[in-house]
């Protein structure tokens, strides 16, 4: 029995018409072949497409949202609450993506509060962390990632870590075609795992999936997935294409 089942997330971001989303589901997602005991496959369409996708996708593929509200249901114009996600029978949310941090003012504190609220209300969370290029060039990568993790850790008890998948996504690699080298990615993944060992527990450190995200393609997935502490991917651009099937195939393995 694997300690950490691998994980491939498809983050569709703010892309696709409904017709394009239907085509992606029918022509790519519903033709995937993978063993759900080896790999979780989770896709995150735009909110308005989520109900259609949830209804029509083949079942081993799970559906996520890309954000949730910090508040519950009620007078919160424009928001979509965790209760709405649960009401559709869905279990996953991507939270703290760098685009949310960068364009919508989500601070470490906001992200941590969203993670806490989502977990307490029954969602599993793909919590995103990652440094900007300037941080990396100033040798601040670990400090930045640690600050993001610390904010989240401060809100969770040990048992709640069962509901967390961490996505390490260096901002300079997202959508740029500049993928982190396997060694660069592994170095940060190892740092995150040792952070979990020291600050949470050995058990959580061994069980938590740590995904890499940032220009993952069918060409680089095979090498990246064999890095010791890489447990899968959060895929943006390539998750909108047939290449996603090759990335899932590269992760349809037992590694640990
Ligand atoms: P990308 O995006 O694969 O297009 O670089 C990854 C992400 O933002 O999750």
Q: Which of 99, 237, 241 to mutate to test the pocket of ligand 1 (most atoms within 8 A of CB)?
A: 237
Distance 95 CA to ligand 1 centre (A): 14
Q: Ligand 1 pocket, 235 CB below 6 A?
A: yes
Catalytic residue among 97, 99, 106, 131: 97
Q: Whose C-alpha lies nearest to ligand 1, atom 9?
A: 236
Please write the tens of the pLDDT for every residue from 107-162: 999 999 999 999 999 999 999 999 999 999 999 999 999 999 999 999 999 999 99
The verdict on whether 106 is a catalytic residue reads no
Catalytic residue flag (residue 187): no
| pLDDT, block means (10 residues), the chain with 256 residues | 88 98 98 97 98 96 98 97 98 98 98 98 98 97 98 98 98 95 98 98 98 98 98 98 98 90
Question: How far apart (Å, rounded) are the C-alpha atoms in residues 112 and 99?
Answer: 16
Catalytic one of 106, 131, 169, 218: 169
Residues in the chain: 256
- Helix-then-strand count for the chain, H and E: 11, 8
Give the list of residues 6+ apart from residue 128 with CB closer than 8 angstroms, or none: 94, 95, 96, 97, 98, 166, 167, 169, 213, 234
Residue 43 belongs to what H/E stretch?
strand 39-44
């Amino acid at each position: 029995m694997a300690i950490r089942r691998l994980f491939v997330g498809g983050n569709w971001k703010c892309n696709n018409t409904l017709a394009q989303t239907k085509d992606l589901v029918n022509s790519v997602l519903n033709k995937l072949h993978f063993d759900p005991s080896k790999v979780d496959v989770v896709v995150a369409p735009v909110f308005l497409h989520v109900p259609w996708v949830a209804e029509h996708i083949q079942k081993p593929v799970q559906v996520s949202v890309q954000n949730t509200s910090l508040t519950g249901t009620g007078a919160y114009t424009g928001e979509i609450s965790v209760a709405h996600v649960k009401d559709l029978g869905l279990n996953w949310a991507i939270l703290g993506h760098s685009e949310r941090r960068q364009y919508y003012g989500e601070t470490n504190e906001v992200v941590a509060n969203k993670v806490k609220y989502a977990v307490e209300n029954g969602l599993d969370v793909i919590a995103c962390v990652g440094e900007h290029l300037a941080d990396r060039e100033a040798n601040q990568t670990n400090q930045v990632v640690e600050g993001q993790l610390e904010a989240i850790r401060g809100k969770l008890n040990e048992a709640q870590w069962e509901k967390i998948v961490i996505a390490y996504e260096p901002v300079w690699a997202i959508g740029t075609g500049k993928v982190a080298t396997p060694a660069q990615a592994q170095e940060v993944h190892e740092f995150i795992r040792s952070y979990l060992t020291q600050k949470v527990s050995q058990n959580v450190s061994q069980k938590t999936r740590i995904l890499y995200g940032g220009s993952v393609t069918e060409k680089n997935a095979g090498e990246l997935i064999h890095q010791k502490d890489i447990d899968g991917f959060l895929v943006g651009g390539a998750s909108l294409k047939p290449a996603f099937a090759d990335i899932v195939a590269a992760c349809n393995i037992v590694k640990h």
